[in-house]
Amino acid sequence: MVDKLFGTDGVRGLANNWPMTADMALRLGAAAGRHFRRDGSNGHRVVIGKDTRLSGYMLENALTAGLTSTGMNVLLLGPVPTPAVGRLTHSMRADLGIMISASHNPFHDNGIKFFGPDGFKLSDDDEAQIERLVHEGVEPVQNHNIGRAKRIDEGRMRYTEYLKTTFPDNKRLNGIKVVIDCANGAAYRTAPETLWELGAEIVPVGVEPNGKNINKGCGSTDTALAARTVVETGADLGICLDGDADRIMIIDEKGQVADGDQIMALFASHWARAGRLKGGALVATVMSNLGLERFLSDQGLQLLRTKVGDRHVVEAMRKGGYNLGGEQSGHIVMTDFATTGDGLLAGIQFLACMVETGKPASELCKMFDTVPQLLKNVRYSAGQTPLEADSVQAVISDAEAKLDGQGRLLIRKSGTEPLIRVMAECEDDVLLGKIVDGIVAEVEAVAATG
């Protein structure tokens, strides 16, 4: 049995360790090139974007070598948000798009995400075919058919211009001060430029990447710096992106943070009143708060839940014809505008709501009262299966019985890290803590014994 490469969002791991090695990136590039260059002509092209991680240079060069060895022509975008790659893959008539990023992870991790010619992330079948070709090996093209590679600057500018078209006509952000935290990541130029060109006064944070500081003490996973900056500068709003800018957290003028659930609640209600919400439903994952579900129900709207991962959200949206979805973690998917989660686009749409309603961010960020929710992670070693232990299953069964009719329990393995995530919701804070801590303690005990 061969090792599986693809997880919930492409291939990801510790840089310079399997599978995030230069050799594997070359093989992935060659396999993807062979899979998408089906007719043997030299007119095929692939766009490659990346975030600001040190290892991005290594992986970018290796992917390019693999792709050009199969006759694919490569357009190198440089640092751009993940959603920019999805959009440009389609708009530039590329056969394939690749983003080099580990999203919200620390700099020492990296990943490779693939987009098909329609701008959406690859299907499970396409990933399986690429994985098969990686393990079987790919025959390179003859020397006169080797592809070309070149760097282009226009990709980022095209994306910026497109984002501005999603803001309401004849509206501007004049007089609105925005703290924009780019997590020292892929949007460090794109986000400030776009918001400034829309008229906002910009206070940039996390815009000095050095290859090692991506997501470090900033961004959507660490909002303290941005929240403090909003209050200190008297800003109207804070927008926090993650390393590849497909996630967002919003900070109101008081320094309070709104997660993806609150943002989706605002968009769903705003769009429903305007007749823009297709199917009268919002698509989210099993992680979204019970309070969001109750809020939507009170407005006659549905919450449709999927497995964790924005690709599952997008699949459900496309299958059911819905146009709004996302994750509590800040992936906001608006298929009227984009093919994947887009943090900057979501920030622009939030600002549009502010302009159209005349309400401050604090009113728009608090759409519903959350049900107390507790999430804890347990790290385990490769090869371990602590969730299968009888003692762990017994603790989980007991917890489910105690929560029956009072809340929810969700336990799952992370698709990107060796973590088991234990999450519960319950109105009783004391019971909530006991349940999560009890499960975590048992999982840790089993993991410690190997």
Q: For residue 337, give the 3-state DSSP assignment.
A: coil
Res. 1: pLDDT tops 50: no
Residue 107: domain span = 11-154
- Which tops the pLDDT comparison, 153 or 45? 45
Predicted pLDDT at 8: 78
Are residues 329 and 391 located together in one domain of the fold?
Answer: no
Res. 425: pLDDT tops 60: yes
Predicted pLDDT at 40: 65
Active site residue 91: no
What DSSP character marks residue 38? Answer: -
Order of strands, sheet of 237-241, starting from the edge strand that comes earlier in the sequence: 201-205, 177-181, 237-241, 248-251, 257-258
Res. 3: pLDDT tops 80: no
- Write out pLDDT tens, residues 87-140: 999 999 999 999 999 999 999 999 999 999 999 999 889 999 999 999 999 999
- Is 5 a member of any domain? no
Q: At what angle do helices 390-403 and 429-448 cross, to 10 degrees?
A: 170
Q: For residue 3, give the 3-state DSSP assignment.
A: coil
Are residues 211 and 296 located together in one domain of the fold?
Answer: no
What is the average per-residue pLDDT within 361-365?
97
If one counts the domains in the chain, the total is 4
- Write out pLDDT tens, residues 12-58: 999 999 999 999 999 999 999 999 987 666 679 999 999 999 999 99
List the catalytic residue out of 55, 69, 101, 103: 103
Are residues 116 and 188 located together in one domain of the fold?
Answer: no
Are residues 423 and 294 located together in one domain of the fold?
Answer: no
Are residues 147 and 207 located together in one domain of the fold?
Answer: no
Which of 198, 232, 257 finishes a domain?
Answer: 257
What is the average per-residue pLDDT within 197-224?
98
What is the average per-residue pLDDT within 289-311?
94
Which of 239, 257, 275 finishes a domain?
Answer: 257
Are residues 19 and 108 located together in one domain of the fold?
Answer: yes
Rounded CA separation 310/331 (Å): 7
Ramachandran region, residue 275 (left: φ > 0; alpha: ψ -120 to 50; beta: rest): left
CATH code of 79's domain: 3.40.120.10
What is the average per-residue pLDDT within 263-268?
98
**pTM given for the model:** 0.91
Are residues 296 and 315 located together in one domain of the fold?
Answer: yes
CATH code of 425's domain: 3.30.310.50
- Write out pLDDT tens, residues 364-414: 999 999 999 999 999 998 778 889 999 999 999 999 999 987 888 999 888
- Residues 151/157/162/167 CA torsion (nearest 10 deg): 150
- Is 6 a member of any domain? no
Are residues 139 and 36 located together in one domain of the fold?
Answer: yes
- Is 423 a member of any domain? yes
Are residues 65 and 194 located together in one domain of the fold?
Answer: no
- Is 92 a member of any domain? yes
